[in-house]
Amino acid sequence: MKPVTSSNHYLERLLQTWSKPSPNTLPWLKQLQVGALDCVNTLRMPTLRDEEWRFTDISSLTKLPFPVVSNPSSLQLSDIEAYCLQEAATRIVFVDGQYAPQLSCVDSDVVAGNLLSLSCAYEEEIAQHIGQHIDSKDNVFAALNTAFLQDSAIVMVPCNTTITAPIHLLFIATQQEVSSYPRCLIIAQSGSKATIVEDYVALQAANYLTNTVSEISIAANGQLNHVRVQRESRQAFHIANCNVSLARASNYHSVSVALGAAISRVNLNVALTDEGAECTVNGLALISEQQLADSHTFIDHIKPHCSSNQQHKCIVGGTAHAVFNGRIMVRPNAQQTDSKQSSRNLLLTDKAHVDTKPQLEIFADDVKCAHGATVGQLDDEEIFYLRSRGLSEIAARDLLVYAFGAEIIEQITINSLKQQLKQSILEYTKHSE
């Protein structure tokens, strides 16, 4: 791969691999793609000079314009067994950004699949939502994703339906030096209830880019439990944009866990668009070596009587770098807002570092808003307490790190995934010694 020098050159090279939508593409989809392409052409790659990217240096990414996968790997069920969740009745699998029907299965209660197969039967609903919850105008990665949008994972939870088994959206990376543009559209119709796992995994240690966009719409009284797990290869780049829109009295609960990737960046935007909406947004970044995990969240209180609760934790070892930017906006007239935010960061080595910015913007007076942030290392007194009970210093440290991370993991309701992630923390503590 020939490295490129300027970031505009990077976009040029990426767009060279862009192919015109085929003639039988749906007209509204074609329009969406071309519109996004126009957006890309007006934008440039962000640098450290941009406020939104001032702590996350993606210059290493902009040197490598990975092309889209041309020949997707064909995998067997046995190849991905380790990543399947036993509780999940519905599983939608994408390999290197391409739908893999042979690995997927769908439960009859829910409408799930890929865009191409569902676009006939549900064209109206899909067209109404896809590309509508994300703004490509000043977000070059979202614009790129939409420009390269060929297929998408789609989940529609019908009205007043409760889906107890989790729905697993699995995105697998198998190839070196490629870009993939996964896309998810989740529509929770009014009064519905479901749990969705959005899972990014790699089958080998490889250098590639995942640029993903998820759009989630929750209608009135809907409840959605969203678990996002990013366990990409340690050399990969992972850029994600997730936009959630909540209608009246709906509820969104999310846990986002970042374990992998050399550089990962997640933008999670939650819009509370009507009264009585509630969201809980939790996150954990568990990183070491030279990893960088960046999480930008934006919770927008647009209407009165909404509440939000956010807890974000980072465990940083090696020479890793964690970034958290949590913005909470309370719009004029969004009275009776109740918003809590906390950012807690644990630095395990003297080379690890963290940049955190919990940010409040409040335009209404009758609100309760509080945020807090802490950065520190393990408490000597806590270690002493455990040692006085006979634990070795190392065991005491491991236990405290585990407990710090487990507080977030515990909120995941899927047992097998919870165990897998807890295991990841245990392994992390072993490696970081």
Partner 1 sequence: MSTVLQNLVNQPYKHGFVTEIESEVAPKGLNEDTIRMISAKKNEPEWLLKFRLDAYKKWLTMTAPEWQNVKYPTIDLQAISYYAAPKPKKKLASMDEVDPELLRTFEKLGVPMHERAALAGVAVDVVFDSVSVATTYKGKLAEVGIIFCSISEAVQDHPELVKQYLGKVVPVGDNYYAALNSAVFTDGSFCFIPKGVKCPMDLSTYFRINTEGSGQFERTLIIAEDDSSVSYLEGCTAPQFDTNQLHAAVVELIAMDNADIKYSTVQNWYAGDENGVGGIYNFVTKRGLAKGVNSRISWTQVETGAAITWKYPSCILRGDNSVGEFYSVAVTNNYQQADTGTKMIHIGKNTRSTIVSKGISAGHSNSSYRGLVRITPTADGARNYSQCDSMLIGDQCGAHTFPYIQVKNNSAQVEHEASTSKIGEEQLFYFAQRGIDAEEAVSMIINGFCKDVFQQLPMEFAVEATKLLSFKLEGSVG
DSSP-assigned letters across all residues of 273-310: -STT-EEEEEEEEEE-TT-EEEEEEEEEE-SSS-EEEE
Interacting residue with partner 1 among 60, 117, 289, 363 (CB under 8 A): 363
Among 13, 44, 193, 353, binds partner 1 (CB under 8 A): 353
For tokens 């069920």, the residue is 77
Is residue 376 a contact residue for partner 1 (CB under 8 A)? yes
- Answer yes or no whether residue 332 interacts with partner 1 by CB under 8 A: yes
Which residues in 174-262 belong to E strands, given as ranges? Answer: 179-180, 183-188, 193-202, 209-218, 223-231, 237-246, 251-258
Answer yes or no whether residue 370 interacts with partner 1 by CB under 8 A: yes
364 binds partner 1 (CB under 8 A): yes
Task: Quickly count: other Cβ atoms within 10 Å of residue 22's Cβ.
Answer: 8
> Would you say 259 or 323 has its CB closer to partner 1?
323
CB of 398 to partner 1, least distance (A): 16
Least Å distance between CB 335 and partner 1?
A: 7
Chain centre distance of CA 69: 22
Q: How far is the CB of 347 from partner 1 (least distance, A)?
A: 4
- Quick check: 295 binds partner 1 (CB under 8 A)? no
- 335 lies in the site for partner 1, by CB under 8 A: yes
Partners of 238 in beta bridges: 210, 264
Backbone angles phi, psi at 362, to 5 degrees: -120, 125
**Which of 75, 79, 99, 68 minimizes the C-alpha distance to 177?**
68
374 interacts with partner 1 by CB under 8 A: yes
Toward partner 1, which CB reaches closer, 67 or 372? 372
C-alpha–C-alpha distance, residues 215 and 32, integer Å: 15
H or E element that contains 410: none
Under rule CB under 8 A, residue 375 binds partner 1:
yes
Nearest distance in Å: CB 365, partner 1: 4
Q: Which of 112, 287, 348, 425 binds partner 1 (CB under 8 A)?
A: 348
Residue pointed to by tokens 């919770």: 299
Residues that bind partner 1 (CB under 8 A): 51, 55, 332-333, 335, 345, 347-377
